[in-house]
Chain A
Amino acid sequence: MSKHCVMGLFSDFDEAFAAISDIRKTKVPGVSVDDVTLKSPIEHPEIEEVLGERPVHVQKFTLFGAIFGVTFGFFFLAGAQATFLVQPQGGKAVVPLPSNFVLMYEMLIFFAVWCTFFAYLFLSGLLRKRHTLYSEKVSLDQVGILIDVDEDCLEPIKDLFKRHKALEIREEVLR
């Protein structure tokens, strides 16, 4: 039995919302809402709620970056100052906390921001080849629902899409 990928394009969010709600209510046996990918031209948290709880983990990496930045910052700066040949300066302590705090603050943000960025690239599934079913209309004004289904569920899903006035339905065989 082959696996298929179907994408329906809808003209607005309400239709897509209704379609996903139907999938959620398991109008089509063997298809779960977890397999659904919603594609939209704008971000829209209210609509995504229908997809159920889908967690985001970026902030954990941000926290890691921030903590790493500030601790690494401190030991890096203080270590450099303590091992530097040129120590006595202007009557100040060798490891002056106030100025180190300023730099630690900057390093906190520096590492946190870069960690966030790389976590984002990694976690949001960027830097990959685009899906063959990608439609340019999604970046214009249509909402797409992408779903991986078994062959026997293919027709019912297409019917469901059609019921909700899908403008276009594309499909391809995965393997």
Chain B
Amino acid sequence: MSLENLLGNWSQYRKGHEEGGFHDYKHLWGMAIDLDICIGCNACATACYAENNLAVVGKERFEKGQAMHWLRLERYWDQNELDHPAQGASFLPMMCQQCDAATCEPVCPVAATYHTPDGLNAQVYNRCIGSRYCSNNCPYRNRYFNFYSYYEDSWPEPLNMQLNPDLTVRDKGVMEKCTFCVQRIRVAKDNAKMENRPVADGEAMTACAQACPTNAIVFGDYMDKDSQVAKLWKKHQVKLRLTKQNKENPELRGYRIFEELNVDPSVMYLERVREEV
């Protein structure tokens, strides 16, 4: 009975993020992106388009800001109020940060976006009614809305043959965003389960990480202490569930974007080292 369930598990239901609610993750998928290695080639974004059936919207709609790039390369020309025209822009690949305390989740009226036991911030397309509140509450603005039925003209014959059969093509009116290639994670987990072993590091690999020519993007399971990503986080003394990292060595480059907002992002960036002009 639900009342019995409610009263019996009351204290568990009342635990929030801060008191350790829902921390018994089996996996916690995370990422580390080394901006110093990143050459800004956009291969990750292209791979994302190919892997996740992202619609190509065309120049006009792109200019209107109605593009669907789950992973975008943000370019900034005036870092620290100094222009570095000689060195070019500074840039970073930006995708959904799969926040642990994601601000998009509590505001969705129909719970179309929720937290999976894998620590992923999932989006259920079928449940979405398109209120777009999640996007408005995302500090990274990393959620993309299907303003049109993009599929109608994104893949003219025979380009529709290239669509990835592992995931859907979204119709108008639903929100979508980077999933950390959840379809690949699914396959890796299923394989491991069938062979009755834990998921090995590198078995689940996002399309962007796979496509990166310089291996700037490292993806893996944060709960697996031996994974490359967990080691990197440890090495740079970046921890989850903090709004301010207290590093022993301030020279370490690791940081999380907007972690002071207490959204607890799962992506760590490694700062780019730039020479003085």
Contacts and interface: CB of A to CB of B under 8 A. Distances in A.
B3 A90 contact: no
Interface residues of B, number: 27
A81 interface: yes
Contact of B13 (A82, A90, A91): A82
Interface in B103-131: 103-106, 111, 114-115, 117
B136 to A, nearest CB: 14
A93 B111 contact: no
B9 A82 contact: yes
A79 B111 contact: no
A30 interface: no
Interface of B: 2-3, 5-6, 9-10, 12-18, 21-22, 100-106, 111, 114-115, 117, 264
A94 interface: yes
B21 A93 contact: yes
Given A79-B6, A82-B2, A88 B14 contact: no
A91 B17 contact: yes
Contacts of B21: 88, 91, 93-94
Interface string A128-157: 000000000000000000000000000000
B6 A90 contact: no
Where chain B touches its partner, the secondary structure class is: loop
Contacts of B13: 78, 81-82, 93-95
A92 interface: yes
Interface residues of A, number: 19
Contact of A90 (B2, B9, B12, B101): B101
13 contacts: A82-B5, A83-B2, A87-B22, A88-B114, A89-B105, A89-B106, A89-B115, A90-B101, A91-B21, A93-B15, A93-B21, A94-B21, A96-B16
B22 A88 contact: yes
Contacts of B101: 90-91
A88 B111 CA distance: 10
Contacts of A114: none
Contacts of A83: 2, 5
A174 interface: no
A90 B111 contact: no
Given A79-B6, A82-B6, A91 B114 contact: no
Contacts of A102: none
A126 interface: no
B16 A93 contact: yes
Contacts of A90: 17, 101-106, 115
B26 to A, nearest CB: 13
